[in-house]
Amino acid sequence: MAESFGVDAERYDRARPRYPDALMERIVAAGPGLDVLDVGTGTGIAARQLQALGCRVLGVDPDPRMAEFARRTGVDVEVATFEAWESAGRTFDIVVSGQAWHWVDPVAGGAKAAQVLRPGGRLAAFAHVIEPPPVVAEAFATVYRRVAPDSPLNIPSPKQGLTIYEAMFHKFADGIREVDGFGDPEQWRFDWERSYTRDEWLDLAPTTGPLTQLPPDKLAEVLDGVGAAIDSIGGGFTMPYTTLAVIAARTGAA
- The reply to whether the predicted model has a pTM over 0.85 is yes
Using CA atoms, how far apart are residues 38 and 60, in angstroms rounded to an integer? 6
- Structural domain boundaries enclosing 66: 5-132+157-195+239-249
Q: Would you state the pLDDT for residue 156?
A: 55
Average pLDDT score over the chain: 90
Residue 149 lies in a domain: no
User: 57-89 pLDDT, tens per residue?
Assistant: 999 999 999 999 999 999 999 999 999 999 999
Question: Which of the two residues, 213 and 235, has the higher pLDDT score?
Answer: 235
pLDDT in tens, 153-206: 556 555 577 888 899 999 999 999 999 999 999 999 999 999 999 999 999 988
Q: How many domains does the chain have?
A: 1
| Other residues' Cβ atoms within 10 Å of the Cβ of residue 225 | 18
Q: Is residue 60 domain-resident?
A: yes
Is residue 218 scored above 70 in pLDDT? Answer: yes
Domain assignment present for 208: no
Secondary structure (3-state) at 251: coil
The domain that holds 65 is classified in CATH as 3.40.50.150
Is position 217 within any domain?
Answer: no
Alpha-carbon separation of residue 220 from 37, 169, 199, 202, 211 (angstroms): 37, 33, 13, 10, 10
Beta-sheet strands, E only, within 92-235:
92-98, 117-130, 186-197
Q: Is 221 among the domain residues?
A: no
Asked if residue 231 is part of any domain, the answer here is no
Which amino acid, one-letter code, is at 80? A
- Per-residue pLDDT for 6 more than 90? no
Whether 143 is covered by a domain: the verdict is: no
What is the rounded distance in angstroms from the CA atom of residue 92 to the CA atom of residue 36? Answer: 6
- 242-249 average pLDDT score: 97
Q: What is the pLDDT of residue 230?
A: 94
Whether 3 contacts 66, CB under 8 Å: no
Distance, in Å, from the CA atom of 124 to the CA atom of 62, rounded to the nearest integer, reads 19
